[in-house]
């Protein structure tokens, strides 16, 4: 069906249309009866259309934490009718439905069918959610046409979360768990993405293939069902559409792009300070210590009974670790080390639990379970959040303002969202302009709007786990959680020197680089695994810190466009079928391809998409020939490649991010085509970037002239700006370097042979 031909036949004879009185106009669409269901078609924006269904009464569009608040304003849309179909049209898409039989479809602006016509399939059923008593659910079907990336007998989509062990996913059973988040969103290669919203965010929608593989079936617990449909010709467009629907991921503080050392089992103050001294004496870059239970309580709360213990220290400092918390935190920060403490979503103090139950602030009403969720706090209650905010702000005068590590918050699907809402509100009352940051064991859509990150939970210290980790992080990035992490080295079990060294190498190319370990194993301090591993880890940390200007600029790109910094190759090479499910190598931005060793022995094959030319990082030889490279590495080598026609900004070697700029900005040029890159700088810790207080340096490489030029724009002028440039071109005839001042505008003439 051609979109422009459709416009020519808008409003055909009324005999072919539903009666006008059966269509109820709304502010941005219309409602219509389809069988037993009330259906609404609406334009949320030019590129987000909504299909809503209700089984009884009028459609009541659900308010949801999954959706970003939208400013009031008119959407440019029109109602179209043809051949018995009615629909909503914008300049980006068209949503059509047949009121007689419920067949519906989605088209893009060119008239291409994104969702083929298929019956709505509406019906109400009884389902049980998470073991609860069965209740009413709504069923909606979408048409499905086979795609070129589909496996035989399976439909394949992207972006449902990290429950699957591959990029391509064939079902979406929405839930949260230990290091796992499945979300009601996906991108289909036919060219659309969808976010589903039910009437209760804690009973989110799920989907599965239809029996004939010609449809995809959504199940919505409750009485309402909303599908937000977004034309997206590729994954990059899908991530942008998701960010517009659910909200942009806020930029984390700059120091969180450095190395973060975590463990369970910090012993005392002397132990912390001896560890810090080792890092600095061994010249190992470091930006943060993350503390487990022991920072606030001598004993964890796993054995606390449902009624609690008298004077359990839910809020406070453990004097064994922090006898002088304000002085210690300030001293560590002076050394460039930020302090993060773990938080649990529950209380252990007996009197507090009595108050919770009396006020109705207990998430589970005091019910016993086999874990500890009987003591979980109901952060969705505004009064409960206000009380929690008051408790939390007591930490801030002591300097504990950097963020939180939120663990075990899977009591319901939105617990992390409301928990982070309380924490961010607490920070902003004390320090209104500071960026909020937290690390969480799961997430639901919308959490990224608050400045939160996720890690993949309590993983094992094994090679198969390392091999799986990039898939998890890539899937999280495609699901709206672009700043994800893992327990480098594994949490459960002892790690080996080779495994830790290789995991740290992979971590150079993770959005957040953080180690963690159980209290019964050797802590993942680099010097505890032998001299060879130490040398390898030091090189990894040095590379990570040199890449921070590049990574931080990518974080600004994520905020502006929705594109994650850690990307599967299919995002940049969508027409290459070999990239469809490739996740053991990936891209940072569009230019840097990471292929770290993920198995013992130091060998692997690397696929380099032949539609581009490639360089080894820091080398001037263009790789020719076969697209697959077989590589053998020593323990301190990482296979990494740069796309021809790229500009890569690197910083100098520093020990922590507060030392930036630390020297000139190195701008590496890998010739072969014109190239552009925008370096973004700001103060690194406040929300001033939201009002445009940044400096953007737009670099351009002119292949024909062999010139690097740049132009700076923006009001930010802090002391941490790069003031000097060191340009390096990796030309086939040799490496050439030039230095100069990084003025508001400039050009450096560098010879480049085609």
Q: What structural domains does the chain harbor?
A: 1-245 (2.60.40.1760), 254-561 (3.20.20.80), 566-641 (2.60.40.1180), 646-749 (2.60.40.1180)
Condensed to tens digits (0 to 9), the pLDDT of residues 495-540 reads 999 999 999 999 999 999 999 999 999 999 999 999 999 999 999 9
**What's the pLDDT score for residue 110?**
94
- Pairing verdict, β 206-209 and 85-89: unpaired
For the CA atoms of 116, 119, 123, 126, the dihedral, rounded to the nearest 10 degrees, stands at: -40
Confidence of residue 6 (pLDDT cuts 50, 70, 90): very low
Mean pLDDT of 600-610: 96
158: number of Cβ within 10 Å: 28
**What's the pLDDT score for residue 83?**
86
**What's the pLDDT score for residue 145?**
85
- Pairing verdict, β 85-89 and 78-82: antiparallel
Enter the DSSP assignment of 742.
Answer: -
The whole-angstrom separation of Cα 618 and Cα 718 is 30
The whole-angstrom separation of Cα 699 and Cα 676 is 6
Enter the DSSP assignment of 691.
Answer: G
From residue 487, how far is each of 227, 370, 480, 495, 515 by CA, in Å? 35, 26, 20, 12, 5
- CB 149, CB 156: distance < 8 Å: yes
The helix or strand, by DSSP H or E, that contains position 45, with its residue range, turns out to be: strand 37-45
Condensed to tens digits (0 to 9), the pLDDT of residues 684-710 reads 999 999 999 999 999 999 999 999 999
504-525 burial by CB neighbour count: b if 16+ within 10 A, else e?
bbbbbbbbbbbbbbbeebebbb
Mean pLDDT of 65-74: 88
Confidence of residue 5 (pLDDT cuts 50, 70, 90): very low
Mean pLDDT of 43-59: 90
Mean pLDDT of 572-589: 96
Confidence of residue 155 (pLDDT cuts 50, 70, 90): confident
Find the DSSP H helices in 446-547: 463-477, 497-507, 531-546
145 phi/psi in degrees, rounded to 5? -115, 140
Mapped onto helix, strand or coil, the DSSP state of residue 622 is strand
**What's the pLDDT score for residue 133?**
65
**Would the pLDDT of 10 be above 90?**
no
The whole-angstrom separation of Cα 33 and Cα 518 is 57
Q: What pTM does this model have?
A: 0.95
Condensed to tens digits (0 to 9), the pLDDT of residues 225-260 reads 999 999 999 999 999 999 999 999 999 999 999 999
**What's the pLDDT score for residue 151?**
67
Residue with tokens 């239970």: 293
Condensed to tens digits (0 to 9), the pLDDT of residues 180-239 reads 999 999 999 999 999 999 999 999 999 999 988 899 999 999 988 999 999 999 999 999
**What's the pLDDT score for residue 197?**
97
């Amino acid at each position: 069906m051609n979109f422009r031909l459709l416009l020519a036949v808008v409003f055909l004879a009324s005999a072919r249309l539903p009666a006008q009185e059966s269509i109820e106009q709304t502010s941005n669409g219309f409602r219509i009866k389809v069988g037993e269901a009330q259906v609404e078609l609406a334009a949320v924006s030019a590129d987000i259309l909504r299909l809503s269904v209700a089984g009884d009464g009028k459609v009541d569009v659900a308010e949801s934490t999954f959706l970003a608040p939208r400013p009031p304003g008119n959407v440019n849309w029109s109602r179209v009718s043809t051949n018995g179909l009615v629909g909503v049209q914008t300049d980006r898409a068209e949503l059509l439905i047949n009121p007689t039989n419920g067949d519906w479809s989605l088209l893009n602006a060119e008239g291409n069918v994104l969702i083929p016509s298929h019956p709505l399939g509406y019906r109400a059923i009884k389902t049980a959610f998470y073991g609860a008593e069965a209740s009413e659910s709504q069923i909606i079907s979408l048409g499905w046409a086979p795609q070129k990336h589909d496996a035989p007998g399976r439909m394949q989509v992207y972006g449902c979360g990290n429950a699957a062990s591959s990029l391509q996913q064939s079902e979406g059973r929405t839930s949260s768990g230990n290091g796992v988040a499945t979300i009601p969103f996906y991108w289909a290669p036919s060219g659309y993405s969808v976010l589903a919203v039910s009437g209760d965010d804690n009973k989110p929608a799920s989907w599965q293939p239809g029996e004939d593989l010609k449809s995809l079936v959504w199940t919505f617990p409750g009485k309402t069902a909303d599908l937000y449909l977004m034309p997206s010709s590729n994954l990059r467009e899908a991530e942008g559409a998701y960010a517009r629907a659910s909200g942009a991921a806020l930029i984390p503080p700059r120091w969180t792009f450095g190395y973060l050392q975590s463990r369970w089992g910090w012993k005392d103050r002397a132990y912390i300070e001896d560890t810090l001294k080792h890092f600095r004496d061994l010249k190992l870059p470091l930006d943060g210590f993350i503390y487990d239970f022991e920072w606030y309580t001598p004993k964890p709360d796993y054995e606390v009974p449902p009624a609690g213990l008298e004077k359990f220290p839910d809020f406070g400092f453990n004097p064994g670790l922090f006898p002088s918390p304000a002085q210690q935190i300030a001293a560590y920060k002076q050394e460039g080390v930020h302090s993060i403490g773990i938080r649990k979503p529950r209380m252990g103090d007996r009197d507090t639990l009595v108050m919770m139950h009396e006020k109705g602030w207990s998430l589970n009403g005091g019910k016993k379970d086999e874990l500890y969720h009987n003591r979980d706090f109901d952060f969705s209650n505004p009064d409960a959040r206000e009380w929690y905010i008051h408790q939390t702000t007591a930490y801030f005068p002591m300097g504990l303002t950097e963020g939180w590590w939120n663990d075990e918050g899977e009591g319901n699907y939105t617990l992390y969202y409301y928990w982070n809402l309380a924490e961010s509100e607490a920070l902003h009352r004390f320090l209104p302009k500071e960026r909020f940051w937290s690390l969480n064991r799961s997430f639901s859509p919308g959490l990224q709007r608050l400045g939160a990150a996720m890690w993949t939970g309590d993983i094992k210290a094994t090679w198969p786990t390392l091999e799986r980790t990039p898939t998890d992080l890539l899937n999280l990035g495609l699901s709206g959680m672009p700043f994800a992490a893992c327990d480098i080295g594994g949490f459960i079990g002892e790690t080996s020197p080779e495994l830790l060294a290789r995991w740290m190498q992979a971590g150079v190319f993770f959005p957040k680089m953080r180690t963690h370990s159980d209290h019964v194993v050797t802590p993942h301090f680099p010097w505890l695994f032998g001299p060879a591993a130490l040398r390898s880890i030091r090189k990894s940390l040095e590379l990570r810190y040199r890449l921070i200007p590049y990574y931080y600029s990518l974080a600004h790109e994520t905020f502006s466009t929705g594109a994650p910094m850690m990307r599967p190759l299919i995002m940049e090479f969508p027409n290459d079928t070999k990239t469809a499910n490739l996740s053991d190598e990936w891209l940072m931005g569009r230019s840097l391809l990471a292929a770290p060793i993920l198995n013992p022995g130091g060998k692997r094959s690397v696929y380099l998409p032949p539609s581009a030319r490639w360089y080894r990082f820091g080398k001037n030889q263009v790789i020719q020939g076969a697209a697959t490279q077989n590589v053998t590495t020593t323990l301190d080598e990482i296979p990494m490649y740069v796309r021809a026609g790229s500009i890569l900004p690197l910083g100098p070697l520093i020990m922590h991010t507060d030392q930036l700029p630390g020297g000139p900005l190195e701008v590496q040029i890998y010739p072969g085509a014109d190239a552009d890159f925008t370096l973004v700088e700001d103060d690194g810790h406040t929300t001033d970037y939201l009002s445009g207080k940044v400096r953007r340096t737009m670099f351009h490489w002119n292949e024909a002239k062999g010139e690097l030029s740049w132009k700076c724009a923006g009001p930010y002028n802090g002391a941490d700006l790069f003031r000097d440039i060191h340009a390096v071109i990796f030309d086939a005839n040799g490496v050439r370097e030039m230095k100069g001042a990084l003025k508001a505008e400039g050009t450096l003439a560098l010879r480049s042979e085609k």
